[in-house]
Structure 1
């Protein structure tokens, strides 16, 4: 009983802790600035359609659900870290980075993070992990807040991949912390509803146009533009797709748009469907093999009789 009470206290304390965080305050200020600029650019009446309001409301609800689930995700991520430690993988000692200035370490941390993120993102666009990532693509009105429309399980997948792919680097915590703030701000920026492509720097730093093509609900854009920060990863690995301004619809086929309850349960629902589908395929194969084996003796006897 005491453990349950402590767990509930932890969950209740998540919001105040999140609000007091300087990094989150910086992110909140950036979101307010983007809102002001959007209103100034479009005008209040044109800035918020009914669909946009529904999308933002759904995203905020999903964000709060994730806050409630955060302690559980932290516990699970700690288990991943413990398993990684048991593997005994050698790592670069943190002291080895002491000769580098903080700004250089921050750049190294951002590049390494985006390389890892490219590959976990690529995995999440595959069949069995797509149900987790599909929640992020469910938004039919991609905007700055869409960066926070992610399923709690996606956070776990991402943390797990970072633990496996980045822990061995042994980068100092301050460089990682500053890099993390920049990454969050950039993630928000690329989801803003503007057609900016960064001109000659478009392969160096991801732009809103680059990322809108990632969210485009057209076949030629599926599984494209998987890097969050550096589009040259997509160019190198053959997943770059920016043919021009993106006027394609946003969202994902067969995924609920703004139904928060269904989106929260979506990975379980889809994994159940996929499992039943695979069971059906396996039964079909077993049935075909049984029928084929059953006909073989008869065919053999018919051949003997004919002789």
Structure 2
């Protein structure tokens, strides 16, 4: 047992040293992208080659756009952090985490982040936020690279919420960094096109089958399987659905598939459309009220006069 513990500690410390070096972080990021690209190509190959190429090209273009806009996201995240500080909400004192091993702190960071992400994700499936999240669901060939097909506005919401949460928790930066690296690798994993269900561990750790059902474009799957890592959150809150292998089509009906310009502008265009419908509905309601009021006045058998 001691040998197992020592080996695990050695591996963990080696991983910690690797991810804390900026140069190695870039290497990890490059390898991660290559892995995602390979899995995207491999999983898409049985489909029409044109669909696969268009999907991967569009996803990479969206990813590059987000990279260019990342400084703005970080800047706004810092503003969120400053605004949070102005509220004067008591945060968890750093002394709470003193003495805890880094592996446990990293595990706490991962669970906490996924709990926050569950509710972020659930909100993203609501009417007014769906136009932002729909860009992620627009991929008709879900694969490892689909992880990076997100609108910059979604990245802003996620980073803002994580910044506030982690500021409140006051956890060590090492634990947060290791947790973020695990989350990134796992997100790539659940998007690959393999039918792995994890058997008895299916509620403990999200599988590709679990997340494939989330991307299924069928009514019974909409708004289901919202956790990124821990399906037991879905089980707890009534959004878990994995009836078996997922053969349903993926994507999002009515959303541009691989048109990068349209996908980038989609949230703004949809919000304008929804706002127009909202204004028209309110105007129709007001006109209805006025019409009913005028009709009531004409039908009265007597006049009401002031004394």
Q: TM-score range by the shorter chain?
A: 0.7 to 0.9
Report the Cα distance in structure 2 between the residues aligned to 1:287 and 1:38, rounded to whole angstroms. Answer: 53
Report the Cα distance in structure 1 between the residues aligned to 2:276 and 2:238, rounded to whole angstroms. Answer: 33
In the alignment of these two chains, the number of paired residues is: 283
Report the Cα distance in structure 2 between the residues aligned to 1:277 and 1:45, rounded to whole angstroms. Answer: 42
- Name the residue aligned to 1:51: 51
Q: Return 5+ residue gaps in structure 1 as ranges.
A: 1-19
8 Å CA contact retained: 1:23, 1:181: no
8 Å CA contact retained: 1:136, 1:149: yes
Are 1:149 and 2:149 an aligned pair? yes
- With the length of structure 1 as denominator, give the TM-score of the two structures: 0.87
Can you list the C-alpha shifts for 1:221-260, whole angstroms capped at 9, x where unaligned?
0000000000000000000000000111110111100010
Structure 1 residue 303, shift from structure 2 partner: 9.7
User: Match for 1:32 among 34, 42, 50?
Assistant: 34
Can you list the C-alpha shifts for 1:45-103, whole angstroms capped at 9, x where unaligned?
64772211110000000011111222222222222111111111111122321210000
8 Å CA contact retained: 2:73, 2:159: no
8 Å CA contact retained: 2:138, 2:258: yes
Report the Cα distance in structure 2 between the residues aligned to 1:36 and 1:143, rounded to whole angstroms. Answer: 9
Report the Cα distance in structure 1 between the residues aligned to 2:86 and 2:74, rounded to whole angstroms. Answer: 18
Report the Cα distance in structure 2 between the residues aligned to 1:275 and 1:231, rounded to whole angstroms. Answer: 35
- CA 1:66–1:32 in 2, change beyond 3 Å: closer, same or farther? closer
- Name the residue aligned to 2:25: 23
220-229 or 167-176, larger mean C-alpha shift: 167-176
8 Å CA contact retained: 2:40, 2:192: no
- Name the residue aligned to 1:102: 102
8 Å CA contact retained: 1:137, 1:215: yes
Say what the alpha-carbon RMSD is for the aligned residues: 2.1
Are 1:83 and 2:83 an aligned pair? yes
8 Å CA contact retained: 1:84, 1:163: no
- CA 1:33–1:287 in 2, change beyond 3 Å: closer, same or farther? closer
Can you list the C-alpha shifts for 1:120-143, whole angstroms capped at 9, x where unaligned?
000000001111100000000000
- Name the residue aligned to 1:267: 267
158-167 or 96-105, larger mean C-alpha shift: 158-167
Are 1:254 and 2:259 an aligned pair? no
Q: Return 5+ residue gaps in structure 2 as ranges.
A: 1-21
- CA 1:21–1:131 in 2, change beyond 3 Å: closer, same or farther? farther
